[in-house]
């Protein structure tokens, strides 16, 4: 899965409210937090670079989330007012799309890039989000050459949105090193010379949703053999990895889960740090559930966490117990999603899970038919968007992109014709997965 991130740069413009750290602390005090010395419920990371008036800000509340354009605008203006600063606010969605907005001196502008169109242009209308280079030139003091380079960057292709964002920050004269500071284990050892990292820690005056979830989760899941990594509970059952992940934003809580087979080759550090899991916990409930946090008062938080824990108890734990190895996990996921490829679009993770599970079970003909159906679905998507692809990239580049999308599927289809290669691949993947988790072969 790709990366989700929301971050900001601040350029203080009003010293009357005190130093930036004091103003940010005052903001969190108003939000129900108090400063502490040790890591607690929330942190702010401020990265300063010698000679630059801009300070990079990462807030643990949204460090690993994406933010729609409407929320981005609101949060940028709120932060600018609270911090007495000009603000550059940015968000990345699954490494596929991004939005950047500056706010200051009564002038704002926003740039949105969603090349594949899979995220609805982040909620931005078709006539907005294109960016006005002249405004950025004046705001950041860019030369004509830099402004042209910025325009070309906005229009250029990218593989990872966060890398494109880093190039954009660098072009604007900002230190992009802060983009690597996205977990609570903040490490300043590899920051450029002249950079200063300051981390402010805060504790919620009432127990936060994340803290209450961790407490309730430990009580419920640790006795069942799960371990906790941040807001994730996980365990290994035979030849599958099982995980429950929790994420809280300003407005709601999100809970997701996964059952991933070792035959898919799992990297422990990647699956533990994933921003979310592919399956929504709500899919295990037969009733409509509201996990919104319109108010962060103790009653609302307790009720929301109670609801999540209830679904874990009644739905997820029994599901995990039934999905205790690759064979059983396949059947459980098949029933969960009614694996009819014409009935619903499944996440890329589940496509991969299903394909490798079928290989492990020796059902090669079924695996091949499955990938052929996937290929037809992918081709249909390409046909629908072909005119747009050609307009954006030209026919030659669009053809290269089409072939790149289909090549992995074609390789999988070819693999299913060679049973001995399949056996060797499954054995090697399982060996690597077990080694990654520190298990005996």
Domain boundary among 176, 204, 232: 204
Domain boundary among 170, 186, 204: 204
Kindly state the greatest CA–CA separation across the chain.
73
pLDDT of residue 94: 77
Co-location of 181 and 239 in the same domain:
no
Please give the residue range of the domain that contains residue 30. 5-204
Q: Which residues 6+ apart lie within 8 Å of 353 measured at CB?
A: 259, 260, 261, 264, 278, 333
Co-location of 241 and 313 in the same domain:
yes
**Distance from C-alpha of 18 to C-alpha of 269, rounded to nearest angstrom:** 41
Co-location of 177 and 214 in the same domain:
no
Co-location of 45 and 145 in the same domain:
yes
pLDDT of residue 346: 41
Best CA proximity match to 129, nearest among 146, 114, 150, 107:
114
Domain boundary among 149, 181, 204: 204
- For the four alpha carbons of 325, 327, 331 and 333, in that order, the dihedral sign comes to positive
- Look up residue 192 and give its DSSP letter: P
Co-location of 76 and 138 in the same domain:
yes
For the chain, how many structural domains are there in total? 2
pLDDT of residue 202: 92
Co-location of 191 and 282 in the same domain:
no
- Kindly report whether the global pTM for this prediction surpasses the value 0.85: no
Q: Which residues 6+ apart lie within 8 Å of 212 measured at CB?
A: 301, 302, 305
**Distance from C-alpha of 12 to C-alpha of 242, rounded to nearest angstrom:** 46
Co-location of 220 and 163 in the same domain:
no
Long-range contacts of 96-102 (CB under 8 A, 24+ apart): 96/2, 96/161, 97/122, 97/161, 98/161, 98/162, 98/164, 98/165, 99/67, 99/69, 99/72, 99/124, 99/129, 100/165, 100/168, 101/69, 101/72, 101/73, 101/76, 102/136, 102/139
Co-location of 172 and 239 in the same domain:
no
**Distance from C-alpha of 67 to C-alpha of 21, rounded to nearest angstrom:** 24
Co-location of 81 and 170 in the same domain:
yes
Co-location of 316 and 196 in the same domain:
no
Co-location of 185 and 234 in the same domain:
no
Co-location of 218 and 114 in the same domain:
no
pLDDT of residue 187: 60
Query: What does each of the 441 residues of the chain score in pLDDT, given as a tens digit?
Result: 567 788 899 998 765 556 888 889 998 888 888 999 988 888 888 888 888 899 999 888 776 565 667 777 878 888 888 888 899 999 888 788 888 999 887 788 989 888 766 666 666 665 667 889 999 999 999 999 999 999 998 988 887 888 889 999 999 999 888 777 654 455 666 677 788 888 899 988 877 788 889 999 999 999 999 999 888 999 999 999 999 999 876 678 889 999 999 999 999 988 887 777 888 898 888 677 888 877 667 888 889 999 999 999 999 999 999 999 999 999 998 888 764 333 334 444 567 888 999 999 999 999 999 999 889 988 888 888 888 778 877 889 889 988 988 999 999 999 999 999 999 999 999 999 999 999 875
Whether 104 and 11 have beta carbons less than 8 Å apart is answered as yes
pLDDT of residue 127: 60
């Amino acid at each position: 899965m790709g990366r989700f991130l929301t971050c900001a740069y601040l350029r203080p413009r009003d010293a009357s409210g005190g130093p930036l750290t004091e103003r940010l602390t005052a903001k969190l005090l108003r939000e129900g937090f108090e400063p502490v010395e040790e890591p607690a419920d929330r942190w702010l990371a401020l990265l300063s670079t010698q000679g630059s008036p801009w300070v990079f800000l990462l807030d643990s509340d949204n460090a690993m989330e994406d933010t729609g354009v409407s929320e981005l605008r609101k949060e940028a203006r709120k932060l600018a007012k609270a911090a007495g600063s000009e603000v550059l606010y940015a968000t990345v969605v699954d490494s596929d799309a991004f939005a950047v907005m500056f706010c200051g001196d009564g002038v704002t502008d926003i740039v949105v890039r969603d090349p594949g169109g899979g995220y609805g242009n982040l909620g931005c209308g078709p006539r907005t989000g294109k960016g006005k280079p002249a405004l950025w030139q004046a705001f950041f003091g860019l030369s004509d050459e830099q402004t042209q380079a910025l325009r070309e960057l906005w229009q250029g292709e990218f593989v990872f949105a966060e890398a494109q964002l880093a190039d954009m920050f660098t072009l604007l004269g900002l230190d992009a090193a802060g983009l690597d500071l996205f977990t609570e284990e903040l490490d300043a050892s590899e920051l450029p010379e002249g950079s200063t990292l300051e981390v402010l820690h805060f504790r919620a005056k009432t127990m936060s949703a994340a803290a209450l979830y961790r407490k309730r989760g430990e009580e419920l899941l640790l006795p069942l053999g799960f371990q906790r990594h941040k807001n994730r509970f996980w365990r290994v059952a035979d030849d599958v990895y099982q995980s429950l992940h929790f994420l809280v934003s300003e407005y709601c809580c999100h809970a997701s889960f996964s059952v991933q087979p070792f035959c898919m080759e799992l990297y422990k550090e990647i699956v533990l740090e994933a921003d979310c899991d592919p399956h929504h916990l709500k899919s295990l409930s037969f009733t409509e559930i509201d996990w919104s946090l319109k108010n962060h008062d103790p009653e609302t938080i307790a009720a929301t966490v109670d609801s999540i824990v209830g679904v874990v108890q009644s739905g997820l734990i029994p599901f995990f117990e039934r999905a205790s190895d690759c064979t059983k996990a396949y059947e459980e996921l098949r029933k969960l999603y009614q694996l009819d490829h014409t009935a619903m679009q499944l996440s890329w993770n589940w496509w991969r899970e299903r394909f490798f599970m079928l290989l492990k079970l020796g059902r090669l003909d079924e695996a091949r038919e499955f990938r052929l159906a996937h290929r037809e679905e992918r081709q249909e998507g390409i046909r629908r968007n072909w005119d747009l692809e050609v307009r954006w990239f030209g026919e030659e580049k669009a053809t290269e992109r089409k072939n790149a999308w289909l090549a992995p599927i074609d390789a999988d289809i070819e693999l299913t014709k060679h049973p001995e290669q399949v056996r060797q691949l499954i054995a090697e993947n399982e060996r690597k997965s077990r080694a990654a988790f520190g298990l005996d072969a």
